[in-house]
Structure 1
Amino acid sequence: MKDENFAGNSKTAIDFLGNKWNYECMGCAISNKQITIPGGIIYEGKYTFLGADPEIPIPGFLIVNVKRHINSFAQLSKEERYEVADVIFYAEKALKELNITNEVTLVQEEHSKHLHIWIFPNYDWMTEKFGKGIKYLRDISEFAQKNANERKIKEVLEVIEQVKDYFKDLSIKGSFNK
Structure 2
Amino acid sequence: MCLTCKIISTEINPPGGIIYQDRRVILHHCLDINIPGYLILSPLRHTTQYQDLTGVELAVIHTTLQQAAAILQQLPGVEKIYICSLGEETTHFHFHVFPRYRWMLNEPDEAIRTDGKIDGAKLFSFMRVKHKISPAGMLSSTIFAAAEDLRNQICISDGGAE
Please, which of 90, 103, 121 is the counterpart of residue 125 of structure 1? 103
Separation of aligned partners in 2, 1:142 and 1:29: 23
Alignment partner, residue 91 of structure 2: 113
**Runs of 4+ with >2 A deviation:** 97-100
Q: Secondary structure at the match of 1:122?
A: strand
Alignment partner, residue 159 of structure 1: 146
TM-score (norm 2): 0.81
Highest relative contact order (Cα 8 Å, sep 6+), 1 or 2?
Answer: 2
Q: Do 1:38 and 1:52's aligned partners in 2 also have CA atoms closer than 8 Å?
A: yes
Structural RMSD (CA) = 2.0
Residue 100 and residue 127 in structure 1: after superposition, are their counterparts in 2 closer, same or farther (change >3 A)?
closer
Counterpart mapping for 1:65-144 below 5 A:
65-99=42-76, 101-111=78-88, 112-129=90-107, 130-131=111-112, 132=118, 133-144=120-131
Q: Secondary structure at the match of 2:37?
A: coil
Q: Secondary structure at the match of 1:120?
A: strand
Alignment partner, residue 21 of structure 1: none
Seq. identity, %: 23
TM superposition shift of 1:159: 0.8
Aligned residues: 145
Q: Which moved more, 1:152-161 or 1:61-70?
A: 152-161
Separation of aligned partners in 2, 1:117 and 1:151: 20
Counterpart mapping for 1:1-16 below 5 A:
none
